[in-house]
Every structure is written in C-alpha cells, then in structure tokens.
Structure 1
C-alpha cells in the first residue's frame, strides 16, 4: 500500500488485517492531504521507520451527509504521532464539478426541448468552433434547467404532502377524491425522481473514492453517471 517506510513490510501474500476490517465494517478510508505518514519510531527527522497508522474512515451514509469532508495530516508536536484534522465543511476547498447527464432528466419530457433549443442557437466560426459552442450552450442550458426543475426536489415533495393532507382534511367528495388521486400520483413521481437522483449520486461517490483507495474498495462494474457532453 506504500504506507510504511522502513521496517518489515511483509510479503505480497501477507494478510492485510486493516483491509479486512474496513471491508467487514463496510467503511472506506477518507484519504488525506499533507505528510503521508502519521507515526514514526523515535525522532521524525531521524526515524528509520515511519508508517500511516492513524486515519479517518466512514461509511457511505456519512460520506453522503458530508461529501466535502477532508482529512489533513498536521505536524507531530512532542509525540511520535502526528495530529489529524478533520474538516466536514472546508471553506477554501475547490473541486471542479464535471458535467454529467442526470438519469432523472429522462423522466421529464421537457429535457429534449431544452437540448433542441440550445442546439439551434446561431454560432459562427469553423466547424470545430461551432460544435464546441453548441456543446457548451447545451451544457449550460441543461445545468440551468436542472437547477430550476430538480434543484428543489424536496421542497416539491413537502408541498405535495401538505396539499394531500389539506384535501384529506376536507369533507369526502368525488371531486376531492379525484384531486387526491392526482396529487398522490404526482407525489409518487417526485419521490421516484428523488430516489433516482440520490442513487446516481451515491454511485458517483463510490467511484470517486474508489479511485483514491483502489486497494481497499472495489468499484461497481457499471457507472450510470457518464459524461456525455
């Protein structure tokens, strides 16, 4: 794993108890920034053996709740162990968010219209420039539409729940029954959309962390959030 300097590292067939424990507990290493090692035998500047003993781990539910959490290895102060700092909401971190096609868009008939309108925009230049500009315009149009339609998914669900309760509190009637059926159908659709959104997000998170901890995590064989533009 490259997490030890000096000393007996064991052969390739040696049992990795840490890896087995993480798998058994269904948690993943959160990674780190800073010095690779967190423990040294003796003085840090002269230590013949250094190792990454201390680390942060979490299950998928916690990582979904704190997707921007970071682990930083600080310096060792009068100790053979380095301090570890966890920040669940770092203010200075920046990560480029690539454009990804959201599966939930396919459940809305307006998606194709958004793409067609953006693609019809007039651009000038070479064929390559035209293609680049049309792709960029389509990407931004989809991002804007996604924020407007799906950015408040939970608010929509809460609003429908409130309307259903109001109808159920009224006197029973044929009209109220039809209205409740329509609201229930709309609620079912938005609940399904919310499930699709979070299912895709969870797979993206597993893939992202799997790339960083390939010795610990085996990623799913398929990934539905592929970048298409």
Structure 2
C-alpha cells in the first residue's frame, strides 16, 4: 500500500473524493455480520482537474454485486454528452412506464429501502434486513428479465427477425 501511495505522490494524483455511500465494496454473511470497505477511488492529476473543474465522483449502488460502480460527472451538467444522456434517460423512463408499468417503481422503492437497511446494518452489525431486501430486489430483477424476454419474443413473432 505504501508503494501505491508513493506512486500517487510521484504522479501528482489527487483523490477526487465522492458523493454517496462511503463504501464501494460490501460482504454480508449469513451469521449477521458485514464487512464494508472503500476499495475504489477516482484519482486525477492537476491537468485533469483544471480541464474538468468541479467534477463529482458518485458512488452508485449495485444490487446484484458486492461492488458499487463509480460515476464521474461534471458539476455543471450543461455539456452536450450529459444532456444527451439525460434525454435518453427520460425517453427510456417513459418507454419503461408504458411497457413495464409497476416493476420499475417497485424496484426504485426497494432500492431506497435497501439503502436504509444498509445504514441500519452499519450501526447494528446485523445484516438480515439487507440480505432480505436484496433477495426481494433480485426477485424483481428476475420478473423484469422475464418481461423483457416475453417482449422480445413478441417482437420476433411480429417481425420474424
């Protein structure tokens, strides 16, 4: 680890910090205890920081993995790429509501409940609620996958493609 820190110093890398959960990796054991670590960090040098002023690193949540992905985004979302991503997201959200209905909103609710359960588990050292909520979310993911599969079969039947 010391060698890594020396390389960071020699290259002039700076930890960009983060927004969101303080951990990027977690392991929940069936006996109730959990391990939480911040394994992943976004690093940049001065040139990058001057080029992308006020960028933020977000720790996103991942339901079916022990690792939480990082998302680096400029603070001022007026760039063309971010606008295109937001537009695409809005169109996909509308399409999802029309075609899939309640599964998406139920998943969002369960994700919020999972975040609360993770906070409680960090305090109480009991991860039973976390494991239970992750199982419910995985069930919803399975349901959503089946819906996608059904939709693809319908489209294939219509177009024979």
Which structure is higher in strand share?
2
Q: Rg bigger for which structure?
A: 1
TM range (shorter): 0.3 to 0.5
Task: Give the TM-score, by structure 2 length.
Answer: 0.42
